[in-house]
Amino acid sequence: MATHITCHLPTDEFALNQTLSSISGISLTCERIAALGDKAVTPLLRFRGADLEPLEAALEDDPTVDEFEVLTHGREEALCYISWNSRVTLLVRMLTATEALVLSGAATKERWTFRLLFPTRDALSRLDEFCTNHNLSLDVSCVETWDGNGPDPLGLTADQYEALVTAYKHGYFKVPRDIVLDDLAVEMGISHQALSERLRRGHDTLVQRVLHPASIEPDTDDETTSTESESSETSPVPSSRLPTVNLD
């Protein structure tokens, strides 16, 4: 049974503590991150803050950074490739050697937040053992399991899941689109209003849970304000399942 967790590590136990501590209000998200088994790739990080002018100097002085490349650098946002020093690289490889697949990562001055996927519960137990042996203060805030049945548990309802996957398969998100919203609604056998609502709320949930897991608070909008009553839309998919999506 696959297991998905949201976990946190203090910044001073992982990476970029000096950079994140030296620039007021700075945060980051991993735009691209792929790690499996004993293999890891250089992350592409998006930094955000009120004033990122000192960022390059901070990265130059950060002991956890071996090399970096700035792709874009504005006053309030920057995109950089980071090559970790040997300690962080080893830590990442040892963590992922527990069979964890890194789905997303984000960081603030206080902590890193990761979403990890394990093929088995035993693999998760090995991560806990690894952190204990290496004095890492891993804090697990959410554990979800998936038994191979049911739709996406990332806070999506069953209807939102169906709407997003169907829209993807029919090219609704392409530029230009292969299908317009009215035709997609007909294809799904629901109203234009219902489909629009499901896509909007599904997008909102995915942004909250995936892009900024460390900083965004959940939306508390009352879905009963919709002009079309959809009882299934207000009942979230049980959080004890993980997504399995065939987009072919």
pLDDT in tens, 37-96: 444 456 889 999 999 999 999 999 999 999 999 999 998 999 999 999 988 887 787 766
ω into 176 cis (within 30 of 0): yes
Quote the tokens at residue 109.
């001055």
Task: Tell me which amino acid residue 193 is.
Answer: Q
Model pTM above 0.75: no
Q: Tens digit of pLDDT for each residue in 110-130?
A: 999 988 877 777 777 888 888
CA 91 to chain centre: 20
Share of residues in the chain with pLDDT > 70 (%): 72
Q: Tens digit of pLDDT for each residue in 32-50?
A: 654 444 444 568 899 999 9
35 DSSP β-pair partners: 40
Task: Tell me which amino acid residue 31 is.
Answer: E
